[in-house]
Structure 1
Amino acid sequence: MKTILVTGGTDGIGKGVATHFLKKDDRVIVVGSSSAKGDLFLNEARQLGAEGRAIFLQANLSLVNENKRIIEEVKSRFHSLDRVVFCATNHKPRKEYSETPEGFEFSFGLSYLSRFALSYGLKELLENSDNPVILNVCAPGMNGTVNLDDIQNKNNYNGAKARYHGSRLNDLLGVAFAHNDTIGKIKYILFNPWAVQTTGTFEAYENPVTKSIMKLIYKTIGKPVEEAIFPIIELLENPPKPSLSAYKQRKEVSLAMKTFDKENAQKLLNITVQMLEAYQKNI
């Protein structure tokens, strides 16, 4: 029996992945912000006869301290982790720059800083398993740049661009993690699911007309969650041999793309570490 941790596991892709592994008799730890959705997940696990293997941990992953709490709780309860899957996100872009109570831009905190903290914070538990994997659901394979002088998008803020920027940050997170992992046991996979028919995707559009149009488009080009998770499951069950890989659905993405620049990845790592150290000193 494997132990899998899934952030954002009460909705969409995360829930699909979590449910799949529960049905395979694995232990699944789901982290989500909604206690109501967590209760639904646990109830569905009971219906599957998997209540003893389903764990829900409530947390606001946009907060550094909440990520630290989750890391410590998982460490106190489990000796190892086999798979960690990052799916937690917020599809609805914010109209204006807004910070969490800890002083970090919300999207930056949830889509990048949380995944950074959990990647490194759970590393020891992953290394206690035989064939550990981190799968980061973001958007590798898309062009774009990272502004290392303004990684939180404070200047000329645009909510949609901030979310897109977060995916580029995750590209570099994967590169730095693999490059600095001297043990080299963990396989880090960046995964782009492309268009998926989830409720959260449509919640990103407030205008009723735009929402209707996007629903029509996604009905045409998008895949239902049950189908969209197939490539994810394949990668988790048969991980690639390289320490870092990236995929857009089933198509491998070249790590020679500029979005995976090793120098930028190391710079971002240093900036992030310094940022977190400064935060710790001020609390």
Structure 2
Amino acid sequence: MKTILVTGGSDGIGKGVAMHLLRSGNQVIVVGSSATKGRSFLNEAKQIGAGERATFLQANLSLVSENKRVIEEVQTRFASLDSVIFCATSHTTREQLTETEEGFEFNFALSYLSRFVLSFGLKEMLEKAAKPVIVNVCAPGMNGTVNLEDIQNKRNYNGAKIKYHGSRLNDLLGVAFSDLNYGKIKYVLFNPWAVQTKGYLDSIKNPINKALARVAFKLIGKPVEKAVLPIIDHIEAPPAQKLSAYIQRKEVSLSKNTFNLDNAHQLYQKTLHLMKGEK
């Protein structure tokens, strides 16, 4: 039995991963912001006879302090972790710059900074496992760059583009973690492509765009149950290399500029400075 933590595991693809793992006999820790969805997850776990192996931790992962609290609670309650799966994100497009109470741009905080804090903060627990792996669900290898002078995109904020920027940040996070990590943890950047999740459809307010999205889902979208299978494979048999990236089951070349090592180390240092309140 493996012990696996899933952020965003009470909804969408994260919940699909969590339920699949529970059915396979594993111990699963789900982190999510909604107490209602957390209770629903625990009830479903009980219904399949996995109630004792399911844990829900309520947390606002857009806050660094909450991520640190999750790390402390996991360290207190569990001996080790075999895998960490990052699925927590927001599908809502914010037209205006929105900051958390800690002063970070919201999408930057939730989609990147949370994953940064948890990746490095849970490293020691992962090192205790035989074959530890982190799976970061984002969109690796797509075109785009990170503005290292404005990594939160506060100066030229664009709500429609900010989520894609988060994936470029996570590309560099994977590179930095793998380069700085001399242990046995494998880091996988994974793009599930089009997945039929209710959360994404609910985030679309324009009726015409929502209708188009429904058609696209029917044509190219995968149901959650199928979309999670490559993630499960990475958990059961982590790749040999320290860092890898995939779009579904197709490997993405790490020679792309989005995985630039120098940029990754610059972003790592700038992230540390931000967390210390430095400019």
TM range (shorter): over 0.9
Residue 85 (structure 1) shift: 0.1
Q: Secondary structure at the match of 1:135?
A: strand
Write the deviation string for residues 206-232 of structure 1: whole angstroms up to 9, x where unpaired: 101111111111111111101111111
Is 2:199 aligned against 1:197?
no
Where do residues 1-283 of structure 1 align in structure 2 (5 Å cutoff)?
Answer: 1-183=1-183, 185-278=184-277
Q: Distance in 2 between matches of 1:56 and 1:211?
A: 31
Residue 79 (structure 1) shift: 1.2
Q: Distance in 2 between matches of 1:254 and 1:203?
A: 33
Residue 141 (structure 1) shift: 2.5
Would the aligned equivalents of 1:141 and 1:192 in 2 still touch at CA under 8 Å? no
Residue 156 (structure 1) shift: 2.2
Write the deviation string for residues 67-110 of structure 1: whole angstroms up to 9, x where unpaired: 00000000011110001000000011101001000100000000
Q: Distance in 1 between matches of 2:79 and 2:163?
A: 34
Would the aligned equivalents of 2:141 and 2:171 in 1 still touch at CA under 8 Å? no
* Aligned amino acid, residue 173 of structure 2: L
Write the deviation string for residues 155-209 of structure 1: whole angstroms up to 9, x where unpaired: 22111211110000000000000001122x1000000001111012112321011
* Aligned amino acid, residue 57 of structure 1: L
Residue 278 (structure 1) shift: 2.0
**Structural RMSD (CA):** 0.8
* Aligned amino acid, residue 84 of structure 1: V
Residue 32 (structure 1) shift: 0.2
- Runs ≥4 residues deviating over 4 A: none
Give the TM-score of the pair, scaled to structure 2: 0.98
Q: Which runs of 5+ in 2 are unaligned?
A: none
Would the aligned equivalents of 1:133 and 1:186 in 2 still touch at CA under 8 Å? yes
Q: Distance in 1 between matches of 2:16 and 2:213?
A: 22
Q: Distance in 1 between matches of 2:88 and 2:160?
A: 17
* Aligned amino acid, residue 155 of structure 1: R
Q: Secondary structure at the match of 2:276?
A: helix
* Aligned amino acid, residue 109 of structure 1: A
Q: Distance in 1 between matches of 2:222 and 2:24?
A: 23
Q: Distance in 2 between matches of 1:192 and 1:241?
A: 19
Counting aligned pairs with the same residue, the percent is 64
* Aligned amino acid, residue 40 of structure 2: L
Q: Distance in 1 between matches of 2:198 and 2:110?
A: 18
* Aligned amino acid, residue 139 of structure 2: A
Give the TM-score of the pair, scaled to structure 1: 0.97
Q: Distance in 2 between matches of 1:277 and 1:31?
A: 25
Q: Distance in 2 between matches of 1:15 and 1:182?
A: 31
Residue 41 (structure 1) shift: 0.3
Q: Distance in 2 between matches of 1:27 and 1:271?
A: 35
Q: Which runs of 5+ in 1 are unaligned?
A: none
